[in-house]
Amino acid sequence: MDPLHYTVDIPATRDELWEAWTTPEGLTRWLCHRATVEPRVGGAYEIYFNPDESRPGSNSTIGCKVLSVDRPRLLRVTWRGSDDLAEIMNNPEAPTTELEVRLRPAPFGTRLEVIHSGWGEGASWTRAREWFDKAWSKALEKILSVYANRTP
């Protein structure tokens, strides 16, 4: 199954967007309620979407790791799914998908590319990919809104 691929130009510097993807403070501004991030190969990349602290691993990327780092150009991490996709994406024996974030100079800021790959085959994976297509579209609208109406 083909990767999901998004490109958006954001009026922010690469360093600002790097921080938005690699620090708990940056991630909580636009993507999640809490994050544990160690931006080094093998480091944790855990994003927590559920504000209910009684279920800390619910709807999270708990257990995900950084695969590669090239500051401020490239971040690659493993990625897990929401609770309703757990049977295929969060099973310890199942492969995780991968998320790649690329940051490049653009005429008025930074070109952000997000590539989500590693989809399996079958109806459950098709459903997961469709779910993430909607989720990433909304997330990228949110990060764009955080930096809108400004000049880097």
Q: What is the pLDDT of residues 91-100, one digit of tens each?
A: 777 668 999 9
Average pLDDT score, the chain: 91
For the chain, helix, strand, coil in percent to 5 are 30, 30, 35
Averaged pLDDT, 52-68: 81
Q: Domain total for the chain?
A: 1
What pLDDT shows up at residue 96?
A: 81
The tens digit of pLDDT for each residue in 1-25 reads 999 999 999 999 999 999 999 999 9
What pLDDT shows up at residue 127?
A: 93
Instruction: Please give, one letter per residue, the 3-state secondary structure of 28-61.
Output: HHHCCCEEEECCCCCCEEEEECCCCCCCCCCCEC
Q: Range of 135's domain?
A: 4-147
69 found inside a domain: yes
Distance between CA 100 and CA 7 in Å, rounded?
Answer: 12
152 found inside a domain: no
Cβ neighbours for 27, distance < 8 A, ≥ 6 positions apart: 20, 21, 35, 37, 47
Read off the CATH number of the domain in which 12 is found. 3.30.530.20
Averaged pLDDT, 22-46: 96
Task: Answer whether residue 108 shows pLDDT above 80.
Answer: yes
